[in-house]
Amino acid sequence: MNTAGKRINEVAEQLLSEVNTVYSKTGKLSDELLSALNFVFQAPLLPALDIIDHRNVTTISGPSGRKVYQVLGTSGTPYICLPSTTYCSCPAYRYSVLLKDDHIMCKHVLAIKLAEAMNLCKSQQVSDQEMTNLIKNLE
């Protein structure tokens, strides 16, 4: 990743930290914060907020401590995302994030990061075998 890319990621992390602070105090996001989020994340922001509004972000964890996220996309398709990366099983990740490099993350990963910052993720426990199957089936 180049210097500009690292700087954008740093700004994104600062904004997500601000989301956590503001949302935990007020229960909403200010217009100024939404404007800043829109400037950094652009097109994926509104669909990500819609995903959060519908409570479609779930943290799936197993007894071994492994964790993934499942995000129900706006089309109703469930996508699996990994917690410590911007990986998502959706086509937009492969095209807009990896191939074209015109977004820093897809709407599903952004929804996860925002839902985590706002403490709006649902939780689901699965067996280690179910977790293994989820991970094995990633594209």
The proportion of the chain whose per-residue pLDDT surpasses 90, expressed as a percent, equals 68
- The label of the residue with tokens 């652009």 reads 42
Has residue 24 been placed in a domain? no
Gap between the Cα atoms of 74 and 133, Å rounded: 24
Has residue 59 been placed in a domain? yes
The runs of H, that is alpha helices, within 1-139 are: 3-26, 31-41, 45-53, 91-92, 107-117, 128-136
- 92, with CB counted inside 10 A (0-12, 13-18, 19+), is buried
Has residue 49 been placed in a domain? yes
Has residue 11 been placed in a domain? no
Q: Which domain holds residue 57?
A: 42-136
- Give 82-123 pLDDT, tens digit per residue: 888 889 999 988 888 888 877 888 999 999 999 999 999 999
Please state the pTM of the whole predicted model: 0.90
pLDDT of residue 110: 95
Residue 5 has pLDDT above 90, yes or no: no
Domains held by the chain: number: 1
* Token pair listed for 10: 């740093």
- Would you put residue 101 in left (φ > 0), alpha (ψ -120 to 50) or beta? left
Task: For residue 30, give every residue at least 6 positions away whose Cβ sits within 8 Å of its Cβ, in sequence order, or none.
Answer: 22
Gap between the Cα atoms of 45 and 4, Å rounded: 20
Has residue 33 been placed in a domain? no
Has residue 120 been placed in a domain? yes
Has residue 17 been placed in a domain? no
Has residue 13 been placed in a domain? no
